[in-house]
Amino acid sequence: MDFTFTEEQQAAVEAARAVFAGVAPDGVQSPALTAGAVADDFDRALWAKLADADLLSLLLDARHGGADLDAVALCLVLRESAKVLARVPLLESTAAAVTVQTYGGEELKADLLARAGRGELVLTVAANGRTGHDGAELAVTARPEGDLWVLDGMQTAVPWAQNADFVLVPALSTDSGRSVLALVPRVHEGALLAEQFSTSGERLGELRLDSARVPARDVIDADGAWESLRDLLATGTCALALGLGEGVLGMTSEYTSKREQFGFPVATFQAVAVQAADRYIDLRAMEATLWQAAWRISSGAGGALPASGDIAVAKIWASEGVRRVVQTAQHLHGGIGADTDYPLHRYHAWAKHLELSLGPAAAHEEALGDLLAAHPLG
């Protein structure tokens, strides 16, 4: 087996590092000191740089101006973005665009994809449902009405909803009983956005749909579309958790190497070294399970379990691992870890958002158990 990345994937990483090199994690107000949102918009200047570096079109094919890469390349770039807490809808916009490319109609592709790849259109996805516990496709109903679809329901915690041009909304068709995806403009009759806030201080949106009518060409009614989108979002979130954790452990290593007690760097104390080593093991497990999941959804390769099993394992490690990494970092930093003039508390807030987005490890363990029961090994 060859575990190395391709030249194209490595080139994407180098481009990402160059773009993110100048990003400051404390470029906006601290969420600990802000009652509302830390900013009214995402980082538009960074978004333009990502577009110039062709990092918004990684997964699009050549006819839409893309590089025709895969989920592994996207996860590599997302990993770099999380190290600096990049405030851009890179995961959501890319995932929505590639879903349109794979499952959407030709008219929708022609109208949307090239502009999304150039950063002129921003897309996001409503993937949390009403509560974050039930499937997002169950939170909205969609019924066909002539050449329109009528949407009713509510989606909560939609990332970047206040600033994206379109929200890709999963819904349950009353006609066929299967999931569809509807592209809803941010400003649209029958669609109301209410403001919510993440633990990171970023704006989220509660999207209420009351007989919102969407043209049939803007609705994806294809088997597997929502499931494919959901898997890519989950795997990308695991990549964000890995990058954030690596950034935090690096920050902790640097601090404990300089901080002295009794005349020695605290990094030389056995209790400190053991805790840091445990978190390093967490990160390597997060990395291994992430690449397994990303490879499965990229290649379509078979296995003893469906790809959802590999994604569940990656989510278990990412959800638990990112929490353990930031908690240990806070402990090893001492009081400065909570100082609002030091960036660690920002990483902690973002890590909590990612942990909540991924969901509890116990739920993924239960899902994995169901898969094992349905697909006996050996």
Rounded to whole angstroms, how far apart are CA atoms 162 and 201?
Answer: 14
- pLDDT per position as a tens digit, 145-197: 999 999 999 999 999 999 999 999 999 999 999 999 999 999 999 999 999 99
Question: Cβ distance 167 to 186 under 8 Å?
Answer: yes
Q: Model-level pTM?
A: 0.97
Rounded to whole angstroms, how far apart are CA atoms 376 and 263?
Answer: 57
Chain centroid, CA 124 distance in Å: 11
Question: What is the pLDDT at residue 1?
Answer: 55
Tokens of 36: 């509302």
Region 33-38: mean pLDDT is: 93
Residue 285: closest CA among 293, 275, 274, 273: 293
- pLDDT per position as a tens digit, 193-252: 999 999 999 999 999 999 999 999 999 999 999 999 999 999 999 999 999 999 999 999
Question: Cβ distance 12 to 81 under 8 Å?
Answer: no
Give the pLDDT band of residue 328 (cuts 50, 70, 90): very high
List Cβ neighbours of 217 (8 Å cut-off, separation of 6 or more): 105, 107, 108
Give the pLDDT band of residue 268 (cuts 50, 70, 90): confident
Going from the C-alpha of 183 to that of each of 76, 119, 188, 221, the distances in angstroms are 27, 17, 11, 12
Rounded to whole angstroms, how far apart are CA atoms 96 and 218?
Answer: 12
Rounded to whole angstroms, how far apart are CA atoms 373 and 367?
Answer: 10
- pLDDT per position as a tens digit, 73-82: 999 999 999 9
Residue 226: closest CA among 96, 366, 353: 96
Question: What is the pLDDT at residue 266?
Answer: 87
Give the pLDDT band of residue 261 (cuts 50, 70, 90): confident
